[in-house]
Structure 1
Amino acid sequence: MWKKLMIGGLVTIVVLYILFEIGYFATSSPHFCAKCHEVSKYVTSWESSVHSNVTCLECHQPQGELGKFHAKARGLNYVFQHFSGDYTIPTRAIVSDQECLTCHLGDNKSFPEAIRLKNTKAINHYKTIKESQSCLECHRDTGHDIDIYLTTDLESAKPSS
């Protein structure tokens, strides 16, 4: 009896995980995200950036399998906000320095052409990392322009429906 329950439970977990991975893959393109997440202007900006070969989630999701669950839970929240109209632009984007470093120190084999960090007379990246200074302090608009929806008088901060 216990053996059947254990096997049944294990099969259920594996099937649910496979379904999650299929759903994750199907819903992870920038254009899919822009359908229900008010980021269409950011996607347009991203398409002409040096990071246009990197998807949203490769920068905006914590690493690992739990990071995938975290990103999709946030995504469901954005879908709810979109359809309820209860949101504020801009939403806070999550970008971890670890995501930057994984590529630019050469640890992400998916992007072997990524420019490697180096120290120059002007910038000492070793010191910057050692002092826990965020990559975004100098490279905030690298993936796409920031604050696209904002104007000096905050008019048009929220797209009209």
Structure 2
Amino acid sequence: MGWKRYLEKNSIKLMLLGALAAVIGVAIAGGGIAYADKTSFCSSCHSMQYVAATWQVSNHRQFTCGDCHLPQENIVEKMIVKNQTGMHDTYHEFLRDYPDTIRLSAKGRAIVERNCLRCHAHTVANTFMSTGGQSCTKCHRGMIHNQIVVKEGIRVE
């Protein structure tokens, strides 16, 4: 009879310890996700320094990289794309084989287009763009990442 009481006490302790470990794990994962969603994280790579500098002088500097470049419809899709993009970027950053001008992939462009329309739907509602099939980035590419930047007396275009 004594061993049953011991087993019950240990079971409760193990369940509480498991719950505590789960809470700590979720907090660490959430903190990591929040940190990786910051522009300072994205711009920490050498290849993204110019992109970050042009973004800093744009009218969209209040938004993070993920606000425009990651899906916002649901968290699962956002995390999948964030992981795919992160692995791709880390691979090319490690090899130092990024081109001088970084271009969006077709998938990346579609995500950016959806996010443009998510924020600017009211702006395009009564224009020819409301019919669909139009490209925001075709005409407005330079609004965010193609600005002239003057840093430390050097003009970068």
Both proteins in one fold, TM over 0.5: yes
Shift of 1:28: 1.9
> Structure 1: 5+ residue runs without aligned partners?
1-10, 106-115, 149-161
Structure 2 residue 45 is the aligned partner of structure 1 residue 33 = no
State which of 75, 86, 99 in structure 1 corresponds to 2:115.
99
More helix by share: 2
- Aligned equivalent of 2:141: 140
Could you tell me how far 1:37 is from its partner in structure 2?
5.7
Whether 1:84 and 2:95 are equivalent positions in the alignment is: yes
Task: Compare CA radii of gyration and give the structure with the larger one.
Answer: 2
TM-score for both structures, normalised by structure 2: 0.63
Residue 68 of structure 1 pairs with residue 79 of structure 2? yes
Shift of 1:141: 1.4
CA distance in 2, matches of 1:51, 1:78: 22
In structure 2, the CA distance between the partners of 1:118 and 1:28, relative to structure 1 (3 Å rule), is closer
2: CA distance, partners of 1:14 / 1:143? 39
Distance 1:86 1:144 in 2: 20
Pairs within 5 Å for 1:94-133:
94-95=108-109, 96=111, 97-105=113-121, 116-117=122-123, 125=127, 127-133=128-134
Supply the AA of the counterpart residue of 1:117: T
- CA distance in 2: counterparts of 1:14 and 1:73, whole angstroms: 26
Whether the aligned pair in 1 keeps the contact of 2:71 and 2:78 (CA below 8 Å) is yes
- Does 2:30 correspond to 1:21? yes
Mapped contact 1:37–1:79 kept (Cα < 8 A): no
Q: Any unmatched runs of 5+ in structure 2?
A: 1-18, 150-157
Instruction: Tell me the distance in 2 between the aligned counterparts of 1:80 and 1:134.
Output: 29
* Alignment coverage as a number of residue pairs: 125
Q: How far apart in 1 are the matches of 2:102 and 2:22?
A: 33
TM-score by length of 1: 0.62
Q: Which amino acid aligns with 1:38?
A: S
**Cα gap change, 1:87/1:145 in structure 2, threshold over 3 Å: closer, same or farther?**
closer
Q: In the alignment, residue 100 of structure 1 is paired with which amino acid? A: C
Q: Could you tell me whether the CA contact under 8 Å between 1:100 and 1:135 is conserved in 2? A: yes
Identity of aligned residues (%): 26
CA drift at 1:86: 3.7
Instruction: Map Cα deviations across residues 63-113 of structure 1 (whole Å, 9 max, x no partner).
Output: 2211232123211221122123243343333243210111113xxxxxxxx
